[in-house]
Chains A and B, each alone.
Chain A
Amino acid sequence: MKLSDIDVAVIGSGPAGMAASIRAKEEGAEHVLILERQEQLGGLLHQCVHNGFGLFYFEQDLTGPEYGHRFAEKVKDLGIQVLLETMVTQISPDRQITAVNNHEGVLRLKPKSIVLAMGCRERSRGQLNVPGTRPAGIFTAGTAQRFVNVEGWIPGRKVVILGSGDIGMIMARRLTLEGVEVKAVVEILPYIGGLTRNEVQCLHDFHIPLLLEHTVTEIHGQQRLEAVTIARVNKDKKPVNGTERMIECDTLLLSVGLIPENELSRMAGVALDPLTGGPVVDQWRETNVSGIFAGGNVVHVHDLVDEVSWEAEIAGASAARFAKKEETEKEKKMLKPGRNIRYVVPQSISAQHDVTLYARVKDMEENVTLKVGDIFSKSLRVVKPGEMLKIDLSPSQLQQLKDDPVELSIEGSKRR
């Protein structure tokens, strides 16, 4: 296996990594290499056996494995080199990659450009500080998903789910169909964390109680989880005295958010945005380190896989152009989150080419106007933190941009 003269190396082979590698190849990079730590391509898609994948990308309603299969076939057809069961342990700022596997031992690679596509991981109990004992039976929703859908184990018989992220709601349905009793989905906010589609098709369809403005205040049990105490919370998200009640259960699933996985990015000297948890990128998805690009959930956590692949394609194409020493534009205008905007990606734009901005709001609001500087405004009936905003801008609009940084904001509508 020839590992010299690599044009583009892609770290990870989930929906982002596969899309990036395909696009890099199509853009003319000759030698594209994927480094994947698992034994097959596809990343987390294998455990996402539910449908709802590819509605936009393929205009078909596919499951995770089917969505991944289509990309994996293309990776094979295009002759993209793949190293499986290979763990990247380090990336240096001069783009040297150190990786290990069982066949070759330690590998050192020096590709012309790199695409970071490591995805994200789940927040766990440690980040929540739920008081109580430390029994077995507490899992992140994604871990339970792997047990049930890939390994063939049922994690427990009576389940409470903390947090209403999409994976949590999807697991509520999956476990119910497998004969498990899902006692409640408990959400601290006054609205769900995931998509409305999942609230309807995963919770309502199976009459699973959704307790908004509630949280778990204590965990009980010595060896195995025996019960949780839940309580209503006030506006400051603090438990209200006297509202506590115990729910008997042997399993608690956590579906409380995802964090971009950026240990390797940090080693490479890639600057991270504290608002997204992912690299600061320009519209070509290049990071502050020349020749290192990033796409998908490693940059920011998306709602839909289709968007993950699209974003990674930008990174893949840009990495191929970099490898071919094609000049990219250096002129940049910074973007800045304004009122009720939690973050915006990319963090800077060239203002010369079409660009799509992705943004997330902090709080739910109705009847508002979304504004980009003074060049774009759009009325929206509702904005929710769980549903990403997408704004397409054309060069003719961008040429009118005067401000730098450009502010994105949500303004209250004028009421008649």
Chain B
Amino acid sequence: MVEEKIVCIGCPLGCRTTLRIDHHGDVVKITGYKCKEGRQYVLEEYRNPVRILTATIRTEKSRRPLLPVRTNRPILKSRLKEATLILVRLKAKPPVKVGQVILPNLLKSGVDVIATDDLFE
């Protein structure tokens, strides 16, 4: 039996919950939450903790040294650092329009990296 601590971000209360997890990885008990939505959030956060990754990439032939980007859908939070190391190697060339795909299928996750701003020369 292991314990995992997750803070609920559903409301300003920020309940500090504890999940007890058996050796199959199944949640046996949750304590510390104060509402149904909170319980649901914590469960989802345990089973599938995902985040939108935002970053900047280098540019060439532009007055602006960087282009801001993000993943178009959330990716597993355990892969954020790995994904960042891919983005470090990218370079954007103008013109780029906001929403344009910069890198498809990041880490074979099916998630694309898109520009979050226009880039001109």
A interface vs B, CB < 8 Å?
Answer: 46, 49-51, 61-63, 65-66, 69, 148-152, 177-178, 196-197, 199-201, 204-205, 381-384, 387
CA of A150 to CA of B62, assembled, Å: 13
- Nearest residue (CB) in B for A364 is B12
Question: Is residue B34 within 8 Å, beta carbon to beta carbon, of the partner chain?
Answer: yes
State the interface size on chain B (CB cutoff 8 A): 27
Query: Residues of B contacting A66 with CB < 8 Å?
Result: 98-99, 116-117
Q: Please, how many angstroms separate the alpha-carbon atoms of A200 and B13 in the complex? A: 13
Cα A387 to Cα B54 with chains together (Å): 24
Q: Output the residue of B13, B14, B51 with the most chain A CB within 10 A.
A: B14
B49, closest chain A residue (CB): A205
Contacting A at CB under 8 A, from B51-87, are 51-52, 54-56, 58, 64-66, 68, 70, 77, 80-81, 84
* Contact A61–B52 (Cβ < 8 Å): yes
Contact A199 B116 (CB under 8 A): no
| Distance to closest chain B CB from A264 (angstroms) | 28
A63 touches B9 (CB 8 A): no
* Cβ–Cβ contact B56 & A199, under 8 A: no
Counting residue pairs across A and B whose Cβ atoms lie within 8 Å, the total is 70
Residues of A within 8 A of B56 (CB): 49, 148-149, 152
B117 x A69 contact (CB < 8 A): yes
User: What per-residue 1/0 map shows which CB atoms of B1-39 lie under 8 Å from chain A?
Assistant: 000000101011110000000000000000000100000
B88 CB, nearest partner CB in chain A, Å: 9
Interface string of B79-121 (1 = CB under 8 A from A): 0110010000000000000110000000000000000111000
A-B interface, 5 closest residue pairs, ranked by CB to CB distance from nearest:
A65-B117, A196-B14, A49-B68, A152-B65, A387-B12
Contacts of A46 in B (CB 8 A): 117
Minimum Cβ distance to chain A for residue B70 (Å): 6
**Nearest Cβ on chain B to A84's Cβ, whole angstroms:** 14
* Complex interface: chain A residues within 8 A of B13 (CB): 381-382
Given contacts A152-B58, A196-B12, A205-B77, is CB(A51)–CB(B84) below 8 Å? Answer: no
Question: Do A149 and B117 contact each other (CB < 8 Å), given the known contacts A51-B52, A63-B54?
Answer: no
Q: Are B12 and A150 in contact (CB under 8 A)?
A: no
Task: Give A63 to B117 CA distance when docked, in angstroms.
Answer: 9
A65–B12 touching, CB < 8 Å: no
CB distance from B14 to the nearest CB of A (A): 4
**Chain B residues with CB below 8 A from A204, complex form:** 7
* Residues of chain B with a CB closer than 8 A to A384's CB: 12
With beta carbons under 8 angstroms apart, the residue of A69, A177, A199 that contacts B14 is: A199
Residue from B9, B51, B54 within 8 A of A196 (CB atoms): B9
Q: Are B34 and A65 in contact (CB under 8 A)?
A: no
A sample of 13 cross-chain residue pairs with beta-carbon separation below 8 angstroms, ordered by A number, consists of A49-B54, A51-B52, A51-B54, A63-B116, A66-B117, A69-B117, A152-B56, A152-B66, A178-B84, A196-B9, A196-B12, A205-B77, A387-B12
